[in-house]
Amino acid sequence: MSDQDVAPVPERDLGEISSPHHHETVAPGVPVRDVTDGGPEMVQFLDADGKRVSRGNCEPYEPILEGLDPETMRSLYRDLVLVRRVDAEGHALQRQGELGLWPSLLGQEAAQVGAGRAMSTQDYAFPGYREHGVAWCKGVPPLNLLGMFRGVNHGGWDSNANNFHLYTIVIGNQMLHATGYAMGVQRDGAVGTGDPSRDTAVMAFTGDGGTAQGDYNEALVFASVAHAPVVFFVQNNQWAISEPNERQFRVPPYQRAKGFGFPGVRVDGNDVLAVYAVTKHALDEARSGQGPTLIEAFTYRMGAHTTSDDPTKYRVSAEVDLWREKDPIKRMRSHLEREGIADPAFFDGIDAEADALAAEIRTGCQNMPDPELPTMFDKVYAEQHPVIDRERAELIAYHAGFEEGN
């Protein structure tokens, strides 16, 4: 049965939690989905023009925003630009045959930098596969990510080096890992001690599509009843490959949190200040023993799902154009200019830094040594295993058969 065979489902009145999705038509027969603005509940501090606003239930978050000094504001902008540049290089290197695949974060920089920067050093992140911006904020070298997509490591960094777990391709699976880890943190007594260097929270990242997975829903139940110090961060980029929000849920993720027993907040995912403040608040609550929060960052995937995807096959360019107007970097830049927080020399300096970073990434990627073939067996099990040993020996013997004289 194809999508076209599914009869349209009438909207039913679900009281307070009725779905805010609505449909507009830009041209006959061409629907444009939920391009409104995230609804009245969405927390926003910067509108699309970079003007300072206070939208949604932003009261708990205002003090956090007011505590941000100009230096921090500028460094948030710097992270946005550098992360976009890392992503652009990843994309280009895949196109040039240097990487096997690249999932672009284009458009989601503010969601990831806002969340990543709100985390404390001891907080642990469990990413999906698109969280290059969170990785950057946690101090993971970009070349570690590129190495994974080049296939020269086992996917492939020391999680404990930066408290940034491995990329997880199995959709929603990391929600369970994060919840289990958070329950471990509780048992280590690292929650609610009042010591800011000890109290620890965990962040779990997934997409709108991830919310439809069993793992996601199971994790939220466990986290809720265990009162675990975990923040679930859903980047609603409107698409799960070619499937729109309407195929993932009837009630948006932030409203569903209440049904699991903890608060849910929708934040403008293209507004780095709002994401930072909302995430900081949720992490503080988790660390102090208040339990989980769900954050739905309302954003948009500007590029293809991955370099293997062609989004022109399933979405209209008018939708992409509308979201281009909400660009997260453009709006932060105009905010800094408007408030006199940064001058032209600052912006030029960041651009130059991005150029240098790009060059470093390109050279670093091209110079990565190819691994020795048998090392592919090295990390299948933590310990030595007879079946793996046999398979490794067979592979070595097979390849030796091609050597001269054999």
Ligand X SMILES: Cc1ncc(C[n+]2csc(CCOP(=O)(O)OP(=O)(O)O)c2C)c(N)n1
- Residue 38 interface partner, choices ligand X, Mg ion, none, CB cut-off 5-8 Å depending on type: none
Q: Is the dihedral of CA 240, 211, 249, 271 positive or negative?
A: negative
**Which backbone phi and psi does 106 adopt, to 5 degrees?**
-50, 125
Buried b (16+ CB within 10 A) or exposed e, 55-72: bbebeebeebbeeeeeee
Q: Is 207 in the site for ligand X (CB under 6 A)?
A: yes
AA identity, residue 179: T
Q: Cβ of residue 303: shortest distance to ligand X, in angstroms?
A: 11
By CB under 6 A, what part of segment 266-305 binds ligand X? 301, 305
Pattern 234-253, binding to ligand X, x per CB under 6 A? ---x-xxx------------
What is the gyration radius of the CA atoms in the chain, in angstroms?
22
Please name every residue paired with 202 in a beta bridge, in sequence order, or none if there are none: 124, 230
Q: Is 207 in the site for Mg ion (CB under 5 A)?
A: yes
Candidates 94, 162, 163, 206; binder of ligand X (CB under 6 A) is 206
Say which DSSP state 192 is in.
S
Pattern 149-188, binding to Mg ion, x per CB under 5 A? ----------------------------------------
Candidates 14, 17, 26, 170; binder of ligand X (CB under 6 A) is 170
**Which backbone phi and psi does 168 adopt, to 5 degrees?**
-120, 120
Q: Cβ of residue 236: shortest distance to Mg ion, in angstroms?
A: 7
Residue 210's CB: how many other CB atoms inside 10 A? Answer: 26
Q: Cβ of residue 249: shortest distance to ligand X, in angstroms?
A: 11
Instruction: Compute the distance between CA of residue 281 and CA of residue 274 in angstroms, rounded to an integer.
Output: 11
Say which DSSP state 268 is in.
E
| Cα→Cα distances 234→83, 155, 331, 355, Å | 19, 23, 22, 31
Using the minimum distance from each CB to ligand X, give the nearer residue, 77 or 136: 136
Concerning whether 301 is annotated as a catalytic residue, the answer is: yes
Pattern 107-146, binding to ligand X, x per CB under 6 A? -----------------------x----------------
Concerning whether 305 is annotated as a catalytic residue, the answer is: yes
Say which DSSP state 250 is in.
S
User: Is the Cβ–Cβ distance between 251 and 262 less than 8 Å?
Assistant: no
Instruction: Compute the distance between CA of residue 92 and CA of residue 95 in angstroms, rounded to an integer.
Output: 5
Using the minimum distance from each CB to ligand X, give the nearer residue, 240 or 267: 240
DSSP three-state, residue 58: coil
Size of the site for Mg ion (CB under 5 A): 4
Q: Cβ of residue 274: shortest distance to ligand X, in angstroms?
A: 20
Instruction: Compute the distance between CA of residue 105 and CA of residue 272 in angstroms, rounded to an integer.
Output: 14
Q: How many helices (H) and strands (E) are present in the chain, helices listed first?
A: 14, 11
Q: Is 190 in the site for ligand X (CB under 6 A)?
A: no
- Residue 210 interface partner, choices Mg ion, ligand X, none, CB cut-off 5-8 Å depending on type: ligand X
Using the minimum distance from each CB to ligand X, give the nearer residue, 210 or 328: 210
Using the minimum distance from each CB to Mg ion, give the nearer residue, 105 or 282: 105
Q: Is 319 in the site for Mg ion (CB under 5 A)?
A: no
* Closest by Cα among 122, 246, 243 to 188: 122
Using the minimum distance from each CB to Mg ion, give the nearer residue, 314 or 346: 314
Catalytic-labelled residue, pool 55, 287, 301, 333: 301
DSSP three-state, residue 68: coil
Q: Cβ of residue 306: shortest distance to ligand X, in angstroms?
A: 8
Instruction: Compute the distance between CA of residue 203 and CA of residue 251 in angstroms, rounded to an integer.
Output: 23
Pattern 72-111, binding to ligand X, x per CB under 6 A? ----------------------------------------
Q: Is 99 in the site for Mg ion (CB under 5 A)?
A: no
Candidates 89, 208, 296, 319; binder of Mg ion (CB under 5 A) is 208
Residues that bind ligand X (CB under 6 A): 130, 169-171, 206-210, 237, 239-241, 301, 305
User: What are the catalytic residues?
Assistant: 301, 305, 314
